[in-house]
Amino acid sequence: MDIAYKQKIAEIIFENIRDGIIMLDRNSKILAVNSAIEKWTEKPVSDLIDKDCTDVFHDITGICPHCASKVTFETGEVNIVMQKGNHKDIAYYAELSAYPIKGDTGELTACVVFIQDITERMLCHEEILGLYTEVTQTKEYLEGFIENSADAIISSDQDGIITSWNKGAERTYGFTKEDAIGKFLPFVPDFLIDPEYEMTHRVMDGEVLKDIETMRKMKDGTIITVSLTLSPIKDAAGKVIGISGISRDISKKKRVEKELIRRNQELSRLFFISSAMRGTLELDRLLRMVLTAVTMGDGLGFNRAILFLFDEKEKILKGAVGVGPASPEEALQIWERLSLEKKTLSDIMRDIEIGPLRKDSFFDRLSRGMEIPLSEETILTKTAKEKKPFNIQDVKKEPLSDTVLIQQLGTHAYAVSPLISRDKVIGVLWVDNHFNRRPITDEDMRFLSGFSNHITTAIESARLFEQVALAEQELENIFESISDMVCFITKDYVIKSINKAVSKRLGKPHDEIIGKKCYEVFHGMSSPWAKCPHHETVETKKAYVEEVEDHYLGGTFITSSSPIFGTTGEFIGTVHVMRDITELKNLQEQLIMTERMAALGEVAARVAHEIRNPLVSVGGFARRLEKKLDGNLKEYADIIAREVERLEEILNEILGFVKETRFVKEIVNPNILIEEVISLIKSEVDERGIVIVREIEEPTEIYVDPNRIKEALLNILSNAVQAMGNNGTLFVKTYVKDNAAVFEIKDTGMGIAGEDLPFIFDPFFTTKKTGTGLGLTITHGIIEGHKGSIEVESKPGAGSIFRVFIPLNNIMDEK
Amino acid sequence: MKILVVDDDLHIQRLYKEEFEEEGYEVVIASNGKEAIELFDSEVPDIVTLDILLPDVDGIRLLRQMKEKRPKVPIIMSTAYDYRDDFAVWASEAYIVKSSDLDELKATIKKMLTKE
């Protein structure tokens, strides 16, 4: 390019460039300016040339090219400065770039200063600055927040190297910033490294893990529980470049939680027991359940427990129930199975009853075999005597340790708690931790004492219940077995309950009587009967005992009615007892009759005696005279004798003499009679091995008193049986002969001696060592009384035959 | 044949004695239970007539006592009052209601003695 062209270009640039260009020499003389400078000076270009820069600019506009150039003149380097000016109250910024111009000699002769208006740029810059300040402030605030947060706020890169560590982290974990930053997750315990990696990967994938409970290790090694939230740190592009974690020490919270759970468990245990108590009052089962609750495998409670009950009489502590799993695994299993939420109480009880904690398990049997007399000085007895609990941490160190427990159960440490009811010791509760060897703490002892109270209450309740149940049962038994009719009748005359005797007497089933009105059922009336004692009790609320004749029931009853009062004292009904004395009354009347009759009889006897004897004398001697006298005297004697006879007859009539005894006769079939008599002796016959041979003919009829005839026949049969001893044959025949029914009884016994035969029907005649000798006499009397007769054949050693003849039922014989 | 008559009435005693002796019997008399037993033992009668209503002892007891001693001796209850209703036992010829007509009594005695 030639110089003219270059000059031309330079001129164009010089004039058209937006920037102001000014050339200064060392003395700040303006050598050249372009028109753009006018913006800065408000003077035309022509006024500026050769002027001093400082006069034109500097104070006036605030822009000072010579200041910029001064540095360039000094250093010879390019100098770019920014200046702020004020023009017409508007702030503006300019960037002055001073370039050194070297003359021909190479000396710095002038300086060209470009003045660029950067006001806009600066304004933006200010805006940015403002934002920057804000951001910085926010950042500072956040940093302050993070730094001062109580929570540990930690960030790490994807390899787990710590990149930030706040004060909270220092406090929580003990590591200082210096300790932590740059290190790999110092606070993660070794056993959690793997899970930590897992979490890390998830977060790196963009997941946010909130409220994770995990464990952390402090600088001093203490393990704490923390609640952790992990979030990914993303760059502007959204790529995860690190992990931010906020964690809080919740160890204390956890402790409180644990305590709550524990308390909850205790409560649920107690609830379980209370429910058990309500659910069963069977002492044995109840105790078993309670002890099961005490020996859980879930960390609360003990491994084994034995309940000793105190026998007051023998003054011995006797093992009553023992619950002890055989091993720790079994212990855990037991409680898991008994998870309270899933099973009903009865299910749990069933499980207990069949499981290892059941009655008669090895441990249970072992427990029940143990007996410690109160006289011995051991911890168990001490507990009972002093009514205080004891916690033996080491049996070897305690001289009073129960040797029997050590020997039989192999226990190393145990606790005993007294069971006190109303200030009396009813037993003691023994526990130990044989499996997990966990020492028994004060907490445990408190738990134990609480349980002891529950057990005591349970025992007392069950005992009381047993007593009540027993009393109820007894009452029930009495009520049912009493032969008198007993019932409860309400004040509205409704029958509430009855005993067996009532339904038996009325001949109606239970449900047909209960609920009905008493006057309907017992008296057949439609309204209350004034004479009934129940009615009177209802009116007067007092008890009554009366003899009542009840025609509806047919009989006489001693009836007692006692009022029953409810718990608040109001009258609710009566206990109504009726004893049937109809028979008694009859007998009494009979007795009175008999007595009267007896009295009469005695009178009669006396009268008979007093009158008859003289009559016998008079008549008897008159007869003798009559025989010895003749003529008139004979006649006189005869008259006397016959008159006496008349008197005797009158006497007989008066005294009601009947030669025949009073039989109650009816028409009967002799075959039936003899069969009935045979059945009476059947058992003895069978015992003796006697054979009965029957020859029964067709039935016929006789008019007799069946009971007396049977009595008569029975005597003969008994004699026959006794005459035979063992193994004989009894022949029984019935037939008709000579208009009479014949009973023939033959035996193969020892028979009757010839010389005794005539006397066998005599009273008190007997050839036996025992016996009244009246049997055959009675028989004879009865048969004769029926106008019958008896035949006897006998051969000593061979047997006897008795034939009883009873006239057939002829019309003539009927009265 | 010896008859022991047990009765506390003197006239009846005499009547019986004379009537029986006329029949050819030997008669021994007892007025009460004590005498009756004594004579039963010492005199060894072949038959006894016994009045139930005796002063010192119940005739039936006496009856039993005698039967226990010598069961084969027939004993005739001769009494003023008919007790037969009360014990069917006595519906036998061993029981006689006293009467001024001694025929029945005498026949019974004869009958019982010929049993032997």
A317 near A310, Cβ under 8 Å?
A: yes
pLDDT tens column, B50-59? 887 788 877 7
How high is the pLDDT of residue B91?
37
Give B35's pLDDT tier (boundaries 50, 70, 90): very high
Give A746's pLDDT tier (boundaries 50, 70, 90): very high
Give yes or no for B21 touching A (CB within 8 A).
Answer: no
Q: Decide if pLDDT at B13 tops 90.
A: yes
Q: Decide if pLDDT at A343 tops 60.
A: no
Strands B2-6, B26-30: parallel, antiparallel or unpaired by DSSP?
parallel
Could you tell me the strand order of the sheet in which A316-323 lies? A371-373, A316-323, A304-311, A424-432, A414-421, A390-392
Give A175's pLDDT tier (boundaries 50, 70, 90): confident
CATH code, A793: 3.30.565.10
How high is the pLDDT of residue A598?
61
Phi (first) and psi of residue A574, to 5 degrees: -130, 155
How high is the pLDDT of residue A299?
47
How high is the pLDDT of residue A19?
83
**A446 and A431 in a common domain:** yes
Q: Decide if pLDDT at B24 tops 90.
A: yes
B82 near A655, Cβ under 8 Å?
A: yes
**A412 and A269 in a common domain:** yes
d(CA B108, CA B78): 11
Q: Which domains does chain B have, with CATH numbers?
A: 2-105 (3.40.50.2300)
**A602 and A460 in a common domain:** no
Query: What is chain B's length?
Result: 116
Q: How far is CA A164 from CA A136, A155, A158, A513, in A?
A: 18, 5, 13, 93
Instruction: Give B67 to chain A, closest Cα distance, Å.
Output: 6
d(CA B42, CA B30): 12
A452 near A429, Cβ under 8 Å?
A: yes
How high is the pLDDT of residue A753?
87
Chain A interface, best mutation among B9, B64, B81, B106, by max A CB count within 10 A: B81
Q: Decide if pLDDT at A355 tops 80.
A: no
Helix (H, G, I), strand (E, B) or coil at A719: helix
Position A127 in a domain: no
What tokens does A497 get? 């309950």
Q: Find residues 451-510 of chain A whose CB sits inside 8 Å of chain B.
A: none
With a threshold of 0.90, does the pTM exceed it? no
**A187 and A41 in a common domain:** no
Position A6 in a domain: no
CB-CB neighbors (< 8 A) of A765 in chain B: 67, 71-72
More confident residue, A73 or A644: A644
**A613 and A509 in a common domain:** no
What tokens does A279 get? 């659910």
How high is the pLDDT of residue A618?
94
Give A269's pLDDT tier (boundaries 50, 70, 90): low
Query: What is the total count of domains within chain A?
Result: 6
DSSP secondary structure string, A392-447? Answer: ES-GGG-TT--HHHHHHH--SSEEEEEEEETTEEEEEEEEE-TTT-PPP-HHHHHH
What is the complex's ipTM, to 2 decimals? 0.88
Domain limit, last residue, from A184, A214, A249: A249
Q: Considering only CA atoms, which of A16, A9, A62, A55 is closest in space to residue A36? A: A16
Which amino acid is residue A400, in one-letter code? L
d(CA B109, CA A777): 18
Q: How far is CA A545 from CA A532, A560, A578, in A?
A: 10, 4, 10
Phi (first) and psi of residue A193, to 5 degrees: -60, -45
What tokens does A70 get? 């001064």
What tokens does B77 get? 């209850």
How high is the pLDDT of residue B39?
94
Position A259 in a domain: no
How high is the pLDDT of residue A620?
93
Segment A752-767 shows an average pLDDT of: 80
Q: Decide if pLDDT at A545 tops 90.
A: no
**A300 and A223 in a common domain:** no
d(CA A184, CA A548): 108
Element holding A620 (H helix, E strand) = helix A582-628
For residue A621, give the chain B residue with the closest CA.
B15
Segment A338-361 shows an average pLDDT of: 60
pLDDT tens column, B76-88? 887 766 555 444 3
d(CA A460, CA A457): 5
More confident residue, A288 or B103: B103
The answer to whether the CB atoms of B94 and A763 lie below 8 A apart is: yes
Chain B interface, best mutation among A603, A652, A661, by max B CB count within 10 A: A661
Domain limit, last residue, from A193, A217, A249: A249
CB-CB neighbors (< 8 A) of A659 in chain B: 84
pLDDT tens column, A466-493? 788 788 888 877 777 777 888 898 888 8
The answer to whether the CB atoms of A759 and B67 lie below 8 A apart is: no
Q: Which residues pair with A153 in a beta bridge?
A: A246
pLDDT tens column, A602-639? 666 677 778 888 999 999 999 999 999 999 999 999 99
Segment A455-476 shows an average pLDDT of: 80
DSSP secondary structure string, A432-457? Answer: E-TTT-PPP-HHHHHHHHHHHHHHHH
How high is the pLDDT of residue A408?
81
A704 near A668, Cβ under 8 Å?
A: yes
The answer to whether the CB atoms of A605 and B74 lie below 8 A apart is: no
pLDDT tens column, A694-741? 888 888 888 888 888 888 898 899 889 888 888 889 999 999 988 899
Instruction: Give B99 to chain A, closest Cα distance, Å.
Output: 5
How high is the pLDDT of residue A222?
82
Q: Decide if pLDDT at A341 tops 80.
A: no
Q: Decide if pLDDT at A800 tops 90.
A: yes
**A614 and A549 in a common domain:** no
d(CA A425, CA A673): 74
How high is the pLDDT of residue A658?
40
Helix (H, G, I), strand (E, B) or coil at A111: strand
- State the angle between helix axes of A251-279 and A345-354 in degrees (0 to 180), rounded to the nearest 10: 90
Which amino acid is residue A396, in one-letter code? K
Q: Decide if pLDDT at A790 tops 90.
A: yes
How high is the pLDDT of residue A452?
81
Q: What is the CA radius of gyration of chain B?
A: 13
User: Domain range holding A358?
Assistant: 265-467
How high is the pLDDT of residue A416?
92
Q: How far is CA A66 from CA A33, A49, A506, B3, in A?
A: 13, 14, 145, 201
Q: Find residues 613-672 of chain A whose CB sits inside 8 Å of chain B.
A: 613-624, 641, 644-645, 648, 652, 655, 657-659, 661-662
A381 near A398, Cβ under 8 Å?
A: no
How high is the pLDDT of residue B86?
47
Give yes or no for A294 touching B (CB within 8 A).
Answer: no
What tokens does A605 get? 């006897």
Q: Considering only CA atoms, which of A370, A363, A440 is closest in space to residue A405? A: A370
CA B110 to chain centre: 13
Percent of chain A with pLDDT over 90: 8
CB-CB neighbors (< 8 A) of A781 in chain B: 88-92
SS3 content of chain A, % helix, strand, coil (to 5): 45, 25, 30
**A284 and A245 in a common domain:** no
**A504 and A394 in a common domain:** no
Instruction: Give A749 to chain B, closest Cα distance, Å.
Output: 22
Segment A518-539 shows an average pLDDT of: 84
Position A133 in a domain: no
Segment B89-108 shows an average pLDDT of: 75
Which amino acid is residue A560, in one-letter code? S
Helix (H, G, I), strand (E, B) or coil at A505: helix
Segment A313-337 shows an average pLDDT of: 75
What tokens does B6 get? 């047990």
Q: Decide if pLDDT at A431 tops 70.
A: yes
Segment B18-41 shows an average pLDDT of: 93
Position A475 in a domain: no
Residues 6+ apart with CB under 8 A from A170: A176, A177
A395 near A410, Cβ under 8 Å?
A: no
Query: What is chain A's length?
Result: 815
Q: Decide if pLDDT at A550 tops 70.
A: yes
Instruction: Give B3 to chain A, closest Cα distance, Å.
Output: 18
What tokens does A577 get? 């007892």
Q: Decide if pLDDT at A158 tops 70.
A: yes
| Average of per-residue pLDDT values in chain A | 81
**A649 and A701 in a common domain:** no
Q: How far is CA B98 from CA A162, A469, A649, in A?
A: 148, 73, 12
Which amino acid is residue A23, in one-letter code? M
B72, B89, B115 ranked by CB distance to A777: nearest: B89
For residue A781, give the chain B residue with the closest CA.
B91
Residue with the two structure tokens 């006769």: A665
Position A232 in a domain: yes
Percent of chain A with pLDDT over 70: 86
Domain limit, last residue, from A222, A249, A276: A249
Give yes or no for B100 touching A (CB within 8 A).
Answer: yes
CB-based burial of residue B77 (10 Å sphere; 0-12 exposed, 13-18 middle, 19+ buried)? buried
Position A1 in a domain: no
DSSP A220: T
Say which range, A264-278, A507-521, A659-673, has the weakest mean pLDDT: A264-278
How high is the pLDDT of residue A261?
72
DSSP A2: -
d(CA A558, CA A568): 31
DSSP secondary structure string, A82-108? Answer: EEEEEETTEEEEEEEEEEEEE-TTS-E
d(CA A475, CA B32): 62
CB-CB neighbors (< 8 A) of B90 in chain A: 763, 781
**A361 and A316 in a common domain:** yes
Chains A and B form CB pairs within 8 A to the count of 116
Say which range, A4-13, A41-50, A204-213, A689-698, has the weakest mean pLDDT: A41-50
Please state, as a whole number, how many other Cβ atoms lie within 10 Å of the Cβ of residue A377. Answer: 10
Position A606 in a domain: yes
How high is the pLDDT of residue A300?
54
d(CA A328, CA A306): 17
Give yes or no for B104 touching A (CB within 8 A).
Answer: no
Could you tell me the strand order of the sheet in which B47-50 lies? B26-30, B2-6, B47-50, B75-79, B95-97
A608, A644, A778 ranked by CB distance to B89: nearest: A778
The answer to whether the CB atoms of A608 and B116 lie below 8 A apart is: no
How high is the pLDDT of residue A367?
83
DSSP secondary structure string, B99-115? Answer: -S--HHHHHHHHHHHHT
**A412 and A272 in a common domain:** yes
Q: Decide if pLDDT at A659 tops 50.
A: no
Please state, as a whole number, how many other Cβ atoms lie within 10 Å of the Cβ of residue A650. Answer: 12
Residues 6+ apart with CB under 8 A from B110: none
